[in-house]
């Protein structure tokens, strides 16, 4: 039986946008929405979350994104990444 995280990782693809130099270089795609990385605060600790990016579908489809794995992405970020939820707002 698959865990929730395995199911989420299976459906979601993660990319690095090398043209960006901030948290927006971390990109996720769940098959219908594009998400970019944003900094969140929880209990005084910061973490990376993915928030939906509206109106930029053509940018992501044309951009030279480098596909990555969740493990490599978290290592590149250097702090906790919230893979459990993709924020639509």
Rounded distance, CA 59 to CA 81, Å? 24
Give which of 2, 16, 14 is closest to 86, Cα–Cα: 14
Which residues sit opposite 30 in a β-bridge? none
> What pTM was estimated for this model as a whole?
0.81
Give the single-character DSSP code of 74.
Answer: H
Taking only the tens place, the pLDDT of each residue in 25-65 is 999 998 889 999 999 998 889 999 999 988 778 888 888 89
């Amino acid at each position: 039986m698959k865990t929730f995280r395995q199911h989420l990782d299976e459906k979601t693809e993660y990319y690095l946008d090398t043209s960006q130099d901030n948290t927006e270089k971390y990109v996720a795609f769940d098959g219908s929405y594009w998400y970019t990385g944003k900094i969140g605060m929880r209990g005084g600790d910061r973490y990376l979350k993915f928030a939906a990016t509206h109106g930029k579908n053509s940018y992501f489809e044309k951009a030279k994104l480098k596909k990555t794995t969740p493990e490599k992405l978290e290592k590149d970020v250097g702090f906790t990444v919230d893979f459990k939820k993709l924020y639509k707002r």
